[in-house]
Amino acid sequence: MPALPDVRILLTADEIHTRVAAMAAAIRHDIRGDLHLIAVLKGAFVFLADLARALGGPVSLDFLAVSSYADGATAPGQVRLLKDLDSPLEDRDVLIVEDIIDTGFTLTYLRGLLGVRRPRSLRTAALLNKPSRRRVPVPIDYIGFDIEDRFVVGYGLDWGERYRELPYIGVVDHVR
Ligand code: IMP
Ligand code: MG
């Protein structure tokens, strides 16, 4: 098996931890009561785990999965639902938890899909944002870090299903 490319650290575990705590405080400033967190699999699983614990107060969780053009399965802009939620959203304060917003196609699709299920409120928290890559404008309520147009891995994010377990966020050498 060929050696995996090296990863250069972009955001340390400490920097991420501090930022996630600040995001949790901002979210709790806006929504004090029951908060229904929806994580987009698989990339958001680490961020979800840290955010849910940092939030304090009552939270419930649900998961969905979408196919992304990054998997090579669909054309750019085409998003397909692979796994739907287990429970309804009606009258709940919903927070979409995403690892990274790139073109914006995925989040635009999700906001449309979930918005019609009559949640009381629908907000988004994204750990990472690549503003220079945006193809469709989409509102993001809480952003961890704006980053440049580099392919990043770790803290849930993968490159060909590798590196999700890294405690930091890094840039893979020779990839975009
Ligand atoms: P969007 O629909 O283009 O905004 O893409 C969002 C999805 O693409 C994310 O949820 C990730 O799964 C994936 N993605 C975009 N940029 C990166 C990256 O730099 N590293 C890993 N995955 C990425
Ligand atoms: Mg994702």
CA 41 to chain centre: 9
Instruction: Give the CB-side neighbour count of residue 44, counting CA atoms within 13 A.
Output: 28
Residue, of 35 and 70, whose pLDDT is higher: 35
In the prediction, which pLDDT does 74 show?
Answer: 52
pTM over 0.85: yes
In the prediction, which pLDDT does 3 show?
Answer: 77
Mean pLDDT, range 120-146, rounded to an integer: 98
User: How many other C-beta atoms lie within 10 A of the C-beta of residue 107?
Assistant: 22
- Quote the Cα angle for 140-96-70, to 5°: 80
> What is the Cα–Cα distance from 161 to 94, expressed in whole angstroms?
28
Any idea which residues carry the catalytic annotation? 102
Rounded to the nearest angstrom, the distance between the alpha carbon of 139 and the centre of ligand 2 is 16
Q: In this structure, which residues have their CB less than 5 angstroms from ion ligand 2?
A: 43, 99
In the prediction, which pLDDT does 145 show?
Answer: 98
Ligand located closest to 164 CA = 1
In the prediction, which pLDDT does 70 show?
Answer: 56
Q: Ligand 1 pocket: which residues have CB below 6 Å? A: 43, 68, 70, 98-107, 151-153, 157
Residue, of 104 and 176, whose pLDDT is higher: 104
Return the CATH fold of 17-146: Rossmann fold (3.40.50)
How far CA 57 is from CA of 35, 39, 96, 102, in Å, comes to 9, 18, 17, 30
Rounded to the nearest angstrom, the distance between the alpha carbon of 160 and the centre of ligand 1 is 12
In the prediction, which pLDDT does 5 show?
Answer: 81
* Residue 138 scores a pLDDT above 90: yes
E strand segments, 14-120: 35-41, 59-67, 80-83, 93-101
Q: Give the model's confidence band at 4: pLDDT under 50 very low, under 70 low, under 90 confident, else very high.
A: confident
What is the average pLDDT value for the chain, to the nearest integer? 94
* Residue 71 scores a pLDDT above 70: no
> What is the Cα–Cα distance from 29 to 42, expressed in whole angstroms?
28
Residue, of 168 and 4, whose pLDDT is higher: 168
